[in-house]
Amino acid sequence: MREIPIRELEIDPEFVAEYLSKRLRQYVLDYAGRTGGVIGLSGGLDSTVTSYITVRALGPERVRCLILPTSVTPKEDLRDALKVVEELSIPEANYRVIDIDPIVEELSSSLTVTDKVVKGNITARVRMIMLHALAANTDSLVIGTSDKSELTIGYFTKYGDAGVDVMPIADLYKTQVKQLGRHLGIPQEVLDKPPSPRLWRDHLAAEEIGMSYELLDSILYLRFDEWLSPQTVAEELGVSPSLVLRVERMVRSSQHKRMMPEVFRVGRRSHGSDWRYPRQWY
């Protein structure tokens, strides 16, 4: 039986940090031709590591941060986000703290939304609207903070936290992001904090997902990087096959969230010489 997390999840953090920084600088400044990046900084692990990488790539003067709390945001998250801004020497003019409760409540009330998950998704989408508005107003790109663990199982809001321009840490599992954060010297409070999207009160990711990230990442790696069978993954990790199959269902059922919207092609050029629909359709 393997030790969890499995050793295959270990990375060379300095190599990864340097690679991501170079790629991000090239993508923002050269490929996209923009002057900087905008980040939604929550005080959590992913957004903190992304901020450190982005400042390393672009310099603090080219990085803008929005800290967008609601009434369910713990005070320590706001404290940690402000500490990150200070440690990265991001200019005071480049970050803002905006309480988005009035916007979320107005939208929820107008649609009579009471379900906490639906309201949580509204919160995520409000944040993304604001990030894109700031990016457009400052000739910047929105830098995503999603990691591979959450993207793979669909643990994100469609057109919310995934609605970004570039995702520098999206090929790193959560346990790898933590390794990178430790190497980059992010605040210990952030490293020790249980992951949470903070979309409702006492919202903890591991509880909602139903397992630790160490176990989730090990399952995902063996099943979808190594392509071992569910039974073999279960045996390797000493867990039940039903748990591996549950993770697999998360991945399959969330596939639509990782793809562009389906387009039902009806134009002649879309189907080549095999087109058989009546001409009057178009």
Write the DSSP assignment of 230-281 as a string of letters. HHHHHHHHT--HHHHHHHHHHHHHTGGGGSPPP----SHHHHGGG--S-GGG
Residue 261 belongs to some domain of the structure: no
Give yes or no for residue 97 having a pLDDT over 50.
yes
Q: How far is 260 from 76, CA to CA, in rounded Å?
A: 36
What confidence score (pLDDT) does residue 269 get? Answer: 66
Residue matched to tokens 């993207």: 151
Residue 53 belongs to some domain of the structure: yes
- Give the 3-state secondary structure of residue 96: strand
The tokens for 247 are 């993770």
Q: CATH code at 103? A: 3.40.50.620
Give yes or no for residue 2 having a pLDDT over 60.
yes
Residue 218 belongs to some domain of the structure: no
Residue 276 belongs to some domain of the structure: no
pLDDT tens sequence across 195-206: 888 787 878 788
pLDDT tens sequence across 22-42: 999 999 999 999 999 999 999
The tokens for 257 are 């969230």
Give yes or no for residue 212 having a pLDDT over 90.
yes
Residues 239-267 have a mean pLDDT of 94
Residues 182-192 have a mean pLDDT of 97
Residue 58 belongs to some domain of the structure: yes
What confidence score (pLDDT) does residue 282 get? Answer: 36
Split into its structural domains, the chain has a count of 1
Give yes or no for residue 276 having a pLDDT over 80.
no
What confidence score (pLDDT) does residue 280 get? Answer: 46
More confident residue, 197 or 257: 257
More confident residue, 125 or 207: 125
Residue numbers of the domain that contains 133: 7-203
With a pLDDT cut of 90, the percent of the chain lying above it is: 87
pLDDT tens sequence across 25-84: 999 999 999 999 999 999 999 999 999 999 999 999 999 999 999 999 999 999 999 999
Q: What are the distances in angstroms from CA 134 to CA 13, 55, 100, 174, 194?
A: 31, 17, 15, 28, 29
Q: How confident is the model at residue 146 (pLDDT cuts 50, 70, 90)?
A: very high
Give yes or no for residue 177 having a pLDDT over 50.
yes
Residue 220 belongs to some domain of the structure: no
What confidence score (pLDDT) does residue 275 get? Answer: 47
What confidence score (pLDDT) does residue 205 get? Answer: 85
What is the average pLDDT score of the chain? 93
Residue 257 belongs to some domain of the structure: no
